[in-house]
């Protein structure tokens, strides 16, 4: 791994770091809404990287990933809101959320170990829906999740007196709430990227890869496929849990609507579109798919005006239309994703031949 | 007892619709081994096309039943064309690609179709004109309508037609051969591309008929109706063993029954702790339990090593 | 400004009401009435007031979103046609319409967008699910938010000074519906809700109120907001022989539900909240809706002084029926403009206190807010579906409001009410109306001068 730190790559790292630090201020010039969109992009990158462990590394198609995100979000919401009157600090809640999500991951993994491919997909999908339905309905007989009404007034991330929701001035620089969350998210995302990289080239990572390529052969060479698969689910899930916690804190409100099936599908689309199993690709996919619809929101009307002189089609439907077309076209012309890993590209090239 | 009978009737009708849509998934899966996630939208387009045709014809004075026949035919034609082009645009170029790539194009196609439908037919719910006179029957305390009878009959007829097509015709034989081994089938002179196209076309036609059935049954249609319907039908196909025609039919009917009985009796079963809001959980729980004991569905053969 | 605020308010209010009342966009009138200051300054600076509007423009509720937006458009156009002056500058209202897809996450993104655009106020959102998370952003930025249709009690219970609504909330509505059911002589009731924040909230409040009024709840059933098949739960309800089926949810499910009730041979009456009190419900339910009941916050448009006229204007302008909340949206915009006028400022911080003190004769109700920002009184009207029309049955609850309406109609008291009264009569006769309004405006000017 030390081959990374050549002078050239360190220069690159410094440049990337500088860009990451400056980004929220550049985006902030266009309005805090852009910083917020940026935050969601990072949050989704975080989620996509978590799902990448399950889908990209271990090759297990998971259509219910949003369930773990929901578990994390609700953990935060219940432990840091007036709903139960609890206000635990963030360093306590995030690990609890991660552990709970991890347990949920193992719970999902256990009965599905024997399932393959599309059977697994539908069971995970069902699991995601089950979690959502429970959250939607657990307001009676005992009110736990407050049902569809959701939980409001959730505490933001607070470190000492430093609130992440409000604007404050640090060293003479005014930093808004979304900008602070940006830095928090970037830090967390760097963490998950690091874990992803380390995992990929570890013994476990190779075991996952073996299972992905051929489960029977993997078993034959002595990999405990059961444990390794469960580990993939659990690891992926715990990242989802952390992301969920941050989401709850950032929004200040959670309700089951935010954890619908379509979200799971979108995250999967990010992983596949970017380049399954390839970390930079997955990040690219997440950032693109989050920003594209938002950018289109701004672009659709002016572009139509420029081309035809008037607004012909309803901007909202056109926006999603373009989005759908983009998904089709990217997959059509880059089936391995926008930025696949070099090995993957080679494999595909061989297959085609 | 009359309540149980009523719930069974409810489930049977709903299940017939699921089964029809599930067949579309399973035909494509059986031959190509991929999930055509856009199938639900094909059904939706079928319903909306039928609405337009029927409304137009009924307004110009045609008897509703005849207009309905034209509606079905028109919807089937549009859907067949749609299914064919979906395969050409979204799936054929990706046959060699990684397994998830066609899944994403399918999702993309779903989004495109939904939004196109919204632009063409608008955002509002549409009402489906009644095609046949809705007479109400009573049987042992349970009531059902002529529409329900028609739905079950049409579903049964279409499914027998499909079975005939697959097991008694040359095209069907080619389909089965391609499903077993495309390469060998190719060597035997089967044009795999044409067979795959025809699977899409036949599945879409069934979807169109199912769409008209949904329309006449609930008398409403909406550009987002395809998603849930597709999801349920897909669940049904998996329950029965995806890729297996009999499995899809059985799975569809079974899922309909599970849903109706689940909603009706889940409260009594759990002593009032779980209500009908857990209807979907009940369906998914049955699915998971079935798959735990039979990992390839009720009727599925043991699948190969397709991970 | 150098002139005292009070006469300005009365005048502006009077003039605007007179103007809305007669519905003819006569430019000179407000200018004649408004300058209480001796000499009108010749060239007025123009000022743009940005009003954000948020509703779902895509998805299953898109038809309601469009309806809301149309209501806002109409209000903004009228305000602009009036040529208002606030703080000495000529004011032009600009509507920034956004789509939140009824998705809470989109709701906050869109809200941030409006906050960044430095809107002077926000009308929206349509759904409680998006209104609640967004309200925090507006509260942090100090931007007044008036929701026309978010009925979830939580919205105003959060304690934000910026959160208002011009519609009775679910508690008020559920309570009235329960009382109504008891009044109809119903003994047993089955409750269905669609497990959305709206449906669940309404059903819970109805349950409480129905039980308090002595009804027996024989079944609690649930569906979801994407469902089309309700036969399983309806079959179960049939076995309980309930007198009444209460549905907490929206029209898209309610219509088919009513239809399937009939198909299954249920004899029970159907009762629902504002979500099903729509033309859409009757379109989807067809003849099966006949004789069933629903409720809507406020007093029917026909019963309100300015109601029928609003309806005319709306249908003429957009060539579409009012779906549901358009009049409330219209009122919300007008309340906001009214508060700006009284504060003589469009600065959110300056006019926010005035929003709380609103006493505005709207299309839907006399709008006054309680300390939480909820509509005071909150009258609820019950309707019955008859021959594809919504027939008014009665208005329950909110005695104060009903009283106020009557008062307004009898046209006694202060200038504003007199003008409103003039407008009522005037609606019948256009010529008389114009004359009356002018006369009233003139009188108001005189009164104001005297007061000064």
Output the average pLDDT for chain B: 88
Q: Which residues of B touch C236 (CB under 8 A)?
A: 3, 7, 263-264, 276
Phi then psi for residue A254, to 5 deg, are -130, 145
Smallest Cβ–Cβ distance between C235 and the set B6, B145, B222 belongs to B6
In chain C, domain spans: 5-168+301-376+401-444, 171-297
C104-116 and A225-251 helices, crossing angle to 10°: 40
Q: Which residues of B touch A347 (CB under 8 A)?
A: none
* Chain A stretch 283-342, residues whose beta carbon is closer than 8 A to a beta carbon of chain B: 313-314, 317-318, 320-321, 323-328, 331-332, 335-336
Position A95 scores a pLDDT of 93
Position C44 scores a pLDDT of 64
Residue A96 contacts residue A75 (beta carbons within 8 Å): yes
In chain B, domain spans: 2-293
Which subunits sit against B, judged by 3+ Cβ pairs under 8 A? A, C
Share of chain C above pLDDT 90, in %: 25
In chain A, domain spans: 35-260
What is the average per-residue pLDDT within A131-141?
86
What does the pLDDT profile of chain C (452 residues) look like in tens digits? 444 444 444 444 444 444 444 444 344 444 444 444 444 455 667 888 999 999 988 766 778 888 999 999 999 999 999 888 888 888 889 999 888 888 877 888 888 889 888 899 999 889 888 898 889 889 988 999 999 988 888 888 888 999 999 888 888 888 889 999 999 889 999 999 988 888 888 999 999 999 999 999 999 999 988 888 899 999 989 888 899 999 999 888 999 999 999 888 888 999 999 889 888 898 898 888 999 999 988 777 777 778 888 888 899 999 888 888 899 999 999 999 999 989 988 899 899 999 988 888 888 878 889 888 888 877 888 999 998 888 888 888 765 444 444 444 443 344 444 444 444 444 444 444 444 445 555 555 444 444 44
Dig out the tokens for B228 from the structure: 């849930």
Among chain C, residues having any CB pair with chain A shorter than 8 Å are: 57-58, 99, 102-105, 108-109, 112-113, 115-117, 129, 132-133, 136, 140, 152, 154, 158, 195-197, 199-201, 222
Which residue does chain B place closest to A127, by CA atoms? B284
For chain B, how many residues are written? Answer: 307
Looking at the domain B2-293, which fold is it?
ABC transporter involved in vitamin B12 uptake, BtuC (1.10.3470)
What is the average per-residue pLDDT within A151-167?
80
Position A313 scores a pLDDT of 65
Mutate: best of B4, B5, B12, B218, partner C, most C CBs <10 A? B218
Distance from CA of B149 to the nearest CA of A (A): 31
Provide the pairing of β-strand C244-248 with C188-193: parallel
Q: Which residues of C touch A177 (CB under 8 A)?
A: 140
Burial class, C4, CB count within 10 angstroms (exposed 0-12 / middle 13-18 / buried 19+): exposed
Position A150 scores a pLDDT of 83
Position A332 scores a pLDDT of 86
Q: What is the DSSP string of C246-269?
A: EEES-HHHHHHHHHHHHHTT---E
B248 touches A at CB < 8 Å: no
Phi then psi for residue B274, to 5 deg, are -105, 135
Binary contact (C152, A149; C-beta < 8 A):
yes
Higher pLDDT, C197 or A233: A233
Mutate: best of A24, A27, A29, A33, partner C, most C CBs <10 A? A33
Which residue does chain A place closest to B26, by CA atoms? A118
Tracing tokens 């919300």 back to the chain, one arrives at: C332
For chain C, how many residues are written? Answer: 452
Query: Is the pLDDT assigned to residue B169 strictly greater than 80?
Result: yes
Q: Is the reported ipTM for this assembly greater than 0.90?
A: no
Region of poorest pLDDT, from A190-199, A252-261, A300-309: A300-309
Cα separation values, B52 from B131, C119, C396, Å? 13, 43, 43
What tens digit of pLDDT does each residue of B213-249 get? 999 998 889 888 998 899 899 999 999 988 889 999 9
Instruction: Tell me how far apart the alpha carbons of residues C324 and C328 are, in angstroms, rounded to a whole number.
Output: 9
**Which CATH architecture does the domain made up of C171-297 adopt?**
3-Layer(aba) Sandwich (3.40)
Helices marked H in chain B — which ranges?
2-32, 39-59, 64-86, 101-121, 146-168, 170-180, 182-187, 192-218, 225-240, 245-269, 279-293
What tens digit of pLDDT does each residue of B273-296 get? 777 888 888 888 888 888 888 888
What is the average per-residue pLDDT within B99-105?
84
Is the previous residue joined to B120 through a cis bond, with omega within 30 degrees of 0? no
Position C43 scores a pLDDT of 60
Position C34 scores a pLDDT of 42
Dig out the tokens for A305 from the structure: 């005006």
Query: Is the pLDDT assigned to residue A86 strictly greater than 80?
Result: yes
Mutate: best of B2, B4, B5, B10, partner C, most C CBs <10 A? B10
Binary contact (C99, A257; C-beta < 8 A):
no
Is 3.30.2270.10 the CATH classification of the domain at C5-168+301-376+401-444? no
The CA R_g of chain A, rounded to the nearest whole Å, is 21
A316 touches C at CB < 8 Å: yes
Which residue does chain A place closest to C117, by CA atoms? A31
Position B76 scores a pLDDT of 96
In this prediction, residue A316 has a pLDDT band, given cuts at 50, 70 and 90, of: low
C410-415 long-range Cβ contacts below 8 angstroms, 24+ apart: C414/C10, C415/C10, C415/C14, C415/C440, C415/C443, C415/C444, C415/C447
Distance from CA of B191 to the nearest CA of A (A): 19
Position A350 scores a pLDDT of 62
Which subunits sit against A, judged by 3+ Cβ pairs under 8 A? B, C
In this prediction, residue A12 has a pLDDT band, given cuts at 50, 70 and 90, of: confident
Which residue does chain C place closest to B2, by CA atoms? C239
Position A122 scores a pLDDT of 84
Instruction: Tell me how far apart the alpha carbons of residues B242 and B298 are, in angstroms, rounded to a whole number.
Output: 9
Higher pLDDT, C111 or B300: C111
Output the average pLDDT for chain A: 85
User: Comparing C-alpha atoms, which of C214, C147, C157, C202 is closest to residue C175?
Assistant: C202
Instruction: Tell me how far apart the alpha carbons of residues C75 and C79 are, in angstroms, rounded to a whole number.
Output: 6
């Amino acid at each position: 791994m030390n081959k990374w730190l050549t002078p050239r790559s360190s220069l690159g790292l410094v440049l990337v770091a500088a860009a990451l630090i400056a980004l929220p201020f550049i985006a902030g010039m266009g309005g805090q809404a852009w910083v917020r969109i940026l935050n969601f992009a990072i949050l989704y990158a975080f989620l996509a990287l978590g799902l990448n462990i399950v889908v990209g590394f271990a090759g297990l198609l998971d259509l219910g990933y949003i369930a773990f995100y929901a578990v994390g979000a609700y953990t935060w919401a219940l432990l840091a809101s007036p709903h139960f009157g609890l206000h635990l600090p963030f360093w306590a809640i995030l690990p609890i959320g991660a552990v709970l999500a991890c347990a949920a991951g193992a719970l999902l993994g256990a009965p599905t170990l024997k399932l393959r491919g599309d059977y697994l997909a539908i069971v995970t999908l069902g699991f995601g829906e089950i979690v959502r339905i429970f959250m939607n309905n657990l307001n009676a007989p005992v009110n736990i999740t407050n049902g569809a009404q959701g939980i409001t007034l959730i505490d933001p991330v607070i470190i000492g007196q430093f609130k992440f929701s409000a604007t404050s001035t640090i060293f003479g620089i005014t930093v808004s709430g979304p900008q602070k969350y940006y830095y928090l998210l970037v830090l967390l995302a760097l963490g998950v990227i690091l874990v992803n990289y380390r995992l990929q080239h570890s013994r476990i990572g190779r075991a996952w890869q073996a299972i992905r390529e051929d489960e029977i052969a993997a078993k034959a060479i002595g990999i405990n496929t059961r444990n390794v698969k469960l580990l993939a689910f659990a690891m992926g899930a715990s990242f989802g849990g952390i992301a969920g916690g941050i989401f709850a804190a950032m929004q200040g409100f959670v309700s089951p609507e935010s954890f619908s099936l379509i979200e799971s599908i979108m995250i999967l689309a990010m992983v596949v579109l970017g380049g399954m199993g390839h970390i930079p690709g997955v990040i690219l996919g997440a950032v693109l798919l989050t920003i594209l619809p938002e950018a289109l929101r701004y672009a659709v009307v002016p572009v139509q005006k420029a081309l035809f002189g008037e607004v012909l089609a309803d901007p909202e439907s056109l926006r999603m239309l373009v989005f759908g077309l983009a998904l089709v076209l990217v997959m059509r012309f880059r089936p391995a994703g926008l930025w696949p890993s070099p090995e993957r590209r080679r494999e595909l090239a061989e297959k085609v031949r | 007892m009359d309540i149980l009978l009523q719930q069974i009737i409810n489930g049977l009708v709903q299940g017939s619709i699921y089964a029809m849509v599930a067949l579309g998934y399973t035909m494509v899966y059986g031959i190509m081994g991929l999930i055509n996630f856009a199938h639900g939208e094909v059904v939706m387009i079928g319903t909306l096309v039928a609405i337009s045709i029927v409304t137009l014809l009924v307004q110009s004075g045609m008897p509703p039943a005849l207009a309905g026949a034209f509606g079905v035919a028109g919807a089937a034609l549009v859907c067949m064309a749609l299914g064919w082009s979906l395969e050409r645009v979204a799936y054929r170029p990706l046959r060699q690609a990684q397994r998830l790539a066609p899944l994403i194009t399918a999702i993309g196609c779903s989004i495109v179709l939904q939004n196109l439908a919204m632009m063409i037919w608008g955002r509002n719910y549409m009402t489906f004109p009644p095609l046949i006179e809705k007479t109400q029957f009573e049987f042992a305390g349970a009531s059902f309508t002529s529409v329900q009878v028609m739905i079950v009959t049409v579903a049964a007829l279409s499914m027998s037609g499909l079975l005939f097509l697959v097991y008694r015709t040359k095209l069907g034989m080619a389909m089965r051969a391609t499903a077993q081994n495309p390469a060998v089938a190719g060597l035997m002179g089967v044009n795999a591309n044409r067979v795959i196209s025809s699977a899409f076309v036949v599945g879409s036609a069934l979807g169109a008929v199912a769409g008209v059935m949904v329309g006449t049954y609930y008398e409403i249609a909406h550009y987002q109706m395809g998603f849930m319907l597709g999801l349920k039908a897909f669940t049904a196909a998996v329950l029965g063993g995806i890729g297996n025609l009999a499995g899809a039919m059985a799975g569809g009917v079974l899922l309909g029954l599970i849903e109706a009985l689940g909603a009706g009796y889940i409260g009594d079963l759990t002593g009032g702790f779980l209500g009908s809001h857990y209807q979907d959980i009940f369906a998914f729980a049955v699915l998971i339990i079935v798959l735990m004991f039979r990992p390839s569905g009720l009727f599925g053969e043991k699948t190969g090593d397709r991970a | 400004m150098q002139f005292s605020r009070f006469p300005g308010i009365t005048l502006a209010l009077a003039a605007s009401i007179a103007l809305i009342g007669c519905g003819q966009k006569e430019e000179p009138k407000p200018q004649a009435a408004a300058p209480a200051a001796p000499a009108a300054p010749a060239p007025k600076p123009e000022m743009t007031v940005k009003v954000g509007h948020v509703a779902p423009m895509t998805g299953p509720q898109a038809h309601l979103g469009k309806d809301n937006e149309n209501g806002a458009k109409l209000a903004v156009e009228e305000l602009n046609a009036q040529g208002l002056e606030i703080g000495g500058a000529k004011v032009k209202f600009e509507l920034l319409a956004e789509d939140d897809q009824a998705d809470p996450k989109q709701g906050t993104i869109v809200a941030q967008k409006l906050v960044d655009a430095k809107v002077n106020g926000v009308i929206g959102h349509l759904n409680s699910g998006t209104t609640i998370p967004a309200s925090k952003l507006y509260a942090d930025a100090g931007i007044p938010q008036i929701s026309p249709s978010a009925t979830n009690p939580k919205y105003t219970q959060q304690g934000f000074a910026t959160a208002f609504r011009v519609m009775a909330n679910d508690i008020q509505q559920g309570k009235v519906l329960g009382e109504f059911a008891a009044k109809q002589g119903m003994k047993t009731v089955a409750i269905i809700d669609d497990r959305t924040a709206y449906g669940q909230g309404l059903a819970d409040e109805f349950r409480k109120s129905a039980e308090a009024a002595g009804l027996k709840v024989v079944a609690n059933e649930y569906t979801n907001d994407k469902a089309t098949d309700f036969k399983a739960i309806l079959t179960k309800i049939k076995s309980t022989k309930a007198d009444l089926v209460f549905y907490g949810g929206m029209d898209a499910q309610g219509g088919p539900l009513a239809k399937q009730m009939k198909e299954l041979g249920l004899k029970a009456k159907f009762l629902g909240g504002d979500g099903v009190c729509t033309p859409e419900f009757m379109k989807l339910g067809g003849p099966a809706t006949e004789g069933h009941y629903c409720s809507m916050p406020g007093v029917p448009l026909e019963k309100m002084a300015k109601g029928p006229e609003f309806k005319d204007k709306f249908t003429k302008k957009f060539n579409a029926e009012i779906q549901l909340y358009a009049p409330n949206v219209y009122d919300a915009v007008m309340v906001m403009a009214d508060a700006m006028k009284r504060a003589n400022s469009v600065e959110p911080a300056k006019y926010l206190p005035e929003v709380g003190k609103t006493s505005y004769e709207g299309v839907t109700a006399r709008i006054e807010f309680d300390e939480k920002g909820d509509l005071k009184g909150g009258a609820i009207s019950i309707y019955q579906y008859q021959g594809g029309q919504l027939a008014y049955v009665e208005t329950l609850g909110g005695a104060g409001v009903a009283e106020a309406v009557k008062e307004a109609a009898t046209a006694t008291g202060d200038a504003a009410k007199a003008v409103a009264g003039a407008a009522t009569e005037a609606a019948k006769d256009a010529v008389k109306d114009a004359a009356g309004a002018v006369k009233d405006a003139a009188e108001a000017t005189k009164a104001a001068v005297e007061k000064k």
